[in-house]
Each structure stands twice: as structure tokens, then as C-alpha cells.
């Protein structure tokens, strides 16, 4: 198994370290020729969605990535990655990958005091550490989206078919279980 990690901006190296801990190979995607390598899944990291989108457009990556996700490539988007995957963002109208039937609110916890840590429940895993950095949350899901975690009444993790998203940064703590969850989903998908 080999997983592509979008490495235009943000916390991509930390995701690569998590996959290394799981013994899973990965490669970084900075341009189209990186993207065209064979892969079994994609991670879109946290960072700044506006910067990521600008670079992705300059590199002509948006359309090819969208096509693969629509064909069923498993994808895991964290924080800004979740924003890129959302069909709707209620406070941003930039064009995105827009493959997942969720409505997201950017910088949902405020810009200044928006970073915090909690331990909370993730469906199918248990209590996990969650680091939020100027995070978005999901305000609405359409039919077919499975809610995996909520915090204070807001959805912070969900999945729909081949797509998995969370508001927080699982790559910034030592707990590998969310990455393991994604890898297991890919393995099940390949059978």
C-alpha cells in the first residue's frame, strides 16, 4: 500500500511520520507528475486552505484530484483538508475539490483563541487526543454521511464512502489510531 500526501503547504510531514509509524509507504505530492504516481489513498493535511487552493490551482492539481476521488480513491482530509473536500463552505466561496456532501464553517472557533486540545470520543476508535488549530467544523451533512465525532454539539469528524474528514489534527499527537482507521479502510476497499 502506498499513500499520496498533498504537500503544497501545511502539516504534511507530520502525516508522513504517522504513516511511517504504521509501516505504510507514502510520497509527497507537489505537482502533477508526483500526483500521477500509483497510489492507494490520499491525505490532505491541515494548513491554510486559501494558500493550498491557490497553489493547487497553479499546479493544475484540483481537477485530476477531484476525478480520482470521484472514481473512489480513498481520501482523508484534516482541518484545511476537510475544507477542500466540502461541497459547501458557508463563509468562503472559493472553488474547491467539493466532493463530500458536507457544509463546513471555516475558523469556526474564532481566529485568536481558536487553538485548543481535548480528549473526546471517535466512533469505532474510542477516546482520542484532538488538537484544534483555527479549525473548521461541519454544520450540516447530507444523507449518506456518517458522523464519527461531535464536540459541543458540532460535528468534527465524518465519513462518506471513500472520504474521511476531521476538524482536528490527529498527526500532531502520538496516537496513531485515526491514521490506522484510514489505512484499514483502504485495505478493506482493496479486497
Q: What positions carry a catalytic annotation?
A: 79, 169, 171
Least separation in angstroms between CB 49 and ligand GLN: 3
Q: Please say which residue, 14 or 40, places its beta carbon nearer to ligand GLN.
A: 14
For ligand GLN, give the closer residue by CB, 137 or 182.
137
- Report angle CA 23, 187, 179 to the nearest 5 degrees: 50
Burial per residue of 15-33, b for 16 or more beta-carbon CB atoms within 10 angstroms, e otherwise:
bbebbeebebebeebeeee
Rg (Cα) of the chain, in Å, rounded?
15
Among 9, 16, 49, 160, binds ligand GLN (CB under 6 A): 49
The interface region with ligand GLN, picked from 18-26, 30-38, 41-49, 66-74 by CB under 6 A, is 41-49
> Quick one: which of 79, 97, 155, 156 contacts ligand GLN (CB under 6 A)?
79
130 touches ligand GLN by CB under 6 A:
no
Smaller CB distance to ligand GLN: residue 135 or 183? Answer: 135
Q: How far is the CB of 136 from ligand GLN (least distance, A)?
A: 6
- Is residue 107 a contact residue for ligand GLN (CB under 6 A)? yes
108 binds ligand GLN (CB under 6 A): no
Q: Which three-class secondary structure state does DSSP give residue 69?
A: helix
80 near ligand GLN, rule: CB under 6 A: yes
Yes or no: say if 99 and 163 are a contact pair by the CB < 8 Å rule: yes
Measured in Å, how far apart are the chain's first and last C-alpha atoms? Answer: 12
| Nearer residue to ligand GLN within complex by CB, 83 or 186 | 83
| Residue 153 burial class via C-beta count within 10 angstroms: exposed 0-12, middle 13-18, buried 19 and up | exposed
**In the complex, minimum distance from the CB of residue 152 to ligand GLN, in angstroms, rounded to a whole number:** 18
**Burial class of 162 by CB neighbour count within 10 A (0 to 12, 13 to 18, 19+):** buried
According to the binding rule CB under 6 A, does residue 46 interact with ligand GLN? yes
Residue 18 to residue 24: CA distance in whole angstroms: 9
SS3 14: helix
Contacts with ligand GLN by CB under 6 A lie at 46-49, 79-80, 83, 106-107, 133-135
Amino acid at each position: 500500500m502506498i499513500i499520496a500526501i498533498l504537500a503544497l503547504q501545511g502539516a504534511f510531514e507530520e502525516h508522513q511520520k504517522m504513516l511511517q509509524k504504521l509501516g505504510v509507504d507514502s510520497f509527497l505530492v507537489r505537482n502533477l507528475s508526483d500526483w500521477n504516481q500509483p497510489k492507494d489513498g490520499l491525505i490532505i493535511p491541515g494548513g491554510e486552505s486559501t494558500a493550498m487552493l491557490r497553489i493547487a490551482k497553479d499546479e493544475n492539481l484540483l481537477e485530476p484530484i477531484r476525478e480520482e476521488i470521484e472514481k473512489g480513491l480513498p481520501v482523508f482530509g484534516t482541518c484545511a483538508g476537510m475544507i477542500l473536500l466540502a461541497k459547501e463552505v458557508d463563509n468562503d466561496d472559493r472553488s474547491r475539490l467539493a466532493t463530500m456532501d458536507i457544509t463546513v464553517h471555516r475558523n469556526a472557533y474564532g481566529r485568536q483563541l481558536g487553538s485548543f486540545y481535548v480528549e473526546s470520543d471517535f466512533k469505532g476508535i474510542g477516546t482520542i487526543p484532538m488538537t484544534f488549530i483555527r479549525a473548521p467544523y461541519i454544520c450540516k451533512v447530507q444523507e449518506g454521511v456518517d458522523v464519527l465525532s461531535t464536540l459541543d454539539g458540532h460535528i468534527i469528524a465524518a465519513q462518506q464512502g471513500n472520504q474521511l474528514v476531521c476538524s482536528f489534527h490527529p498527526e500532531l499527537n502520538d496516537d496513531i489510531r485515526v491514521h490506522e482507521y484510514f489505512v484499514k479502510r483502504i485495505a478493506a476497499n482493496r479486497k
